[in-house]
Amino acid sequence: MKSLLGTTFAFLAVLLLAGCSSPQGDFVPKTETELAQMESLNESAHTAFINGNYEQASAILAKLNSERTVSRPLYQLEQLSALLMDGKNDQAHELMKKIHADLETLFDQKSEEKAQSIWHGEINKVFKGDSYERATFYAFMALSFISKGEYEDALRCVKNGLLADADSSAAQSVDDYALLHYIGYLAATKMNDKNEADAYLTAMKKALAGRGFRYTDEKPAAGDCFSALNRNTPNVLLVVWAGSPPTVVCTGSYKENRNIIRGNNAFDAMTVAVNSGTSFFIPNRLGDVEYQAVTRGGRLMDNVLADKAAAKAAMEVSGNILLVMGYTCCTVGLRNIGSPPVGATFLCIGLGCYVVGGSVHIMGALMNPAADGRFWRNLPAQLYVIPLTLTPGTHRIMLKGYRYSDTAGIAMFNVNVPDNNSLNVIHLPMMTQGAQYSSGLNTKHKNELNEIIGKANANRLAKEIK
């Protein structure tokens, strides 16, 4: 009996010591509780972000980025969104270089082993993002290089983004990120490489056609706005962020099933008007982040987590069975206490089952097959992109988002176009339904915006009354 007890506890101690040791590596070690607390702080930064408090969001995320933890690449991406929305393009560009280095080279074997061990959740590994997150990051980086006139670097980013997009178990979804192909077209056009530009434009058309969107170069049908993308001499590229991002939800008995849920885009169409001019539609679904997120297929890690969950369930069941056997044997032993050979034998067996069953139950409870629930929160559901040719100076941009032909959101911005030969990339927020943003407007323009909003609300109310 003593031998059985000693062996059992020695076995348990070895497992616990082996599984719970914390890897140091090149990272600041964090427990899973500390990583969860960091995620909670990240949620507060996201709240500031969606409320338009970009400086506050960036300040919170800068604190999270101050340590080299396994989650730092994620918080760098979150901070990138805040900087782009705040118009701090130079800071954003420098941050992108750091993110690129982390995504491509940052790896820690100990963290990977810890994430795959039966004792720890997937959150312990270095965050690399899903394929749609990496592809979208490279789209932003390519646009940043284009705005600086560094077109070869922009094309390298496009190719990196397409490689990230190809990291999918759904073969039919590979190479269908139309925005990346369009950015490649812009960069190749700026380099006067017509053959490569035409190849990217053809790939963009194919990606859109595969999703049921028609692209026409000549005599566009009513409502067809893709012909605007063929402009060879734009000096402004508007990138409008709309809707809430795809969300990661972990389900299952042990949170082992990682699911990506579509984002929520309040608009099915969007128009832009410059300086009170004629409104025209912005191409739809070019940068469809939510579609890219939900069509990539599963991951190899999903199989590892499923095996870990199955092992945990088996340990729990086995432990329960042994505890029941222990109770039964001890009961029989006590009833036959007057018959030493029988009673003693059943008591020993029962106590042994209790010890082993309890140990197995404890080990099962300590197993952690939880999937990684981290994701890039500060993304939109869709990126609306439109090239414009504007004279240097300040221009007033008015955006209208529509839902079933009704005005669902209005935004107005003053944007400054410098006198240069670059393609100036301007990121604008129109994140949710009912959005009423204004930036850099004077009192007259703010009053104009309020008047437009009032008319839109009145028209919507009139339709509801009918």
**Across-strand partners of 389?**
none
pLDDT in tens, the chain (466 residues): 444 344 443 434 434 433 443 344 467 888 888 888 999 999 999 999 988 899 999 999 999 998 888 899 999 999 999 999 999 999 999 999 999 988 877 655 566 656 556 666 677 888 888 899 999 999 999 999 999 999 999 999 999 999 988 876 665 667 789 999 999 999 999 899 999 999 998 898 888 887 766 655 444 443 445 666 666 678 899 999 998 889 998 888 888 888 888 888 888 888 889 998 888 888 888 899 998 988 876 676 777 777 777 777 887 888 888 888 888 888 888 888 777 787 788 888 888 887 887 787 677 777 777 888 889 999 999 999 988 888 999 999 989 888 888 888 888 888 899 888 888 999 998 765 444 455 555 555 556 556 655 555 555 545 544 4
Q: Which residues of 195-228 are buried (b: 16+ CB within 10 A; e: fewer)?
A: ebbeebbebbbebbeeeebebeeeeeeeeebbeb
Q: Which residue has the tokens 């004279």?
A: 391
Greatest pairwise CA separation for the chain in angstroms: 104
Q: Which amino acid, residue 217?
A: D
Q: How far is residue 355's CA from residue 337's CA, in Å, rounded to a whole number?
A: 21
Which stretch of DSSP H or E encloses residue 27? none
pTM above 0.85, yes or no: no
